[in-house]
Amino acid sequence: MELQENTPLTLPLFQLNEQLENRDIESPDMQLSVNLTSDLLANLCQNPAPEQSMSIPLEDYAVTDIEASFTAALNDGHQAQLILNHGPVLSAVLSPVGEEMLFVSPPVDMMPTFDLGLDDEDDEEDEETAKNS
C-alpha cells in the first residue's frame, strides 16, 4: 500500500461477529475514509515491536456506503481508530456510540514509500545524455 500526504485512505469495514471470516471482501458493511495528513502519516510510518500495536484515534474521517441495516446504529455517533501492528500491518476499527458492536477492516500489509526525488535526477541525466548523443 502506498501512502501519500493529502490523499484519502479508504478501508472497508465489516461487523465483527462469528460470520466475519466467511464474508465477501467485495461486500463490506461500510467504508471508512480518512485524509492522510502529515501528522497521521508520521504515526503510520512506525513499525511497532512484534508483540505490540499502536492505536491512532481518528478525529476527522468519513463513513460512506453504509449498509442500510447499520444506519440506525451509527445515528448516535461513532468513534474510529487505526491500529498499526508489527509488519507494519494496518487495520481500522469503528465503534458506534451506545452499541455493543464493532466494525473492523481486514489487515493490510503496508510499507510506506517515500519519493526522495532520486528518480528525477536519473531522468534528467538520461535527457542530458540523449541531447548530447
- Among 33, 92, 95, 27, smallest CA distance to 64 is for 33
Within a domain: 47:
yes
How is residue 118 written as a grid cell?
Answer: 532520486
What is the domain extent for residue 87? 7-15+28-109
Which pLDDT belongs to residue 114? 53
54-108 residue pLDDT tens: 999 999 999 999 999 999 999 889 999 999 998 889 999 999 998 899 999 999 9
Q: Tell me if 63 is assigned to some domain.
A: yes
Question: What pLDDT score was predicted for residue 109?
Answer: 86
Kindly state whether residue 92 falls inside one of the protein's structural domains: yes
Lowest mean pLDDT among 2-6, 18-22, 98-102, 116-120: 116-120
What are the grid coordinates assigned to 26, written together? 467485495
Domain count across the chain: 1
Query: Residue 51 carries which side chain, given as an amino acid letter?
Result: E
pLDDT band with cut points at 50, 70 and 90 for residue 118: low
For residue 54, the number of C-alpha atoms closer than 13 Å in the C-beta half-sphere is 17
Residue 98 lies in a domain: yes
- Please report whether residue 82 resides in a domain: yes
Res. 116: pLDDT tops 90: no
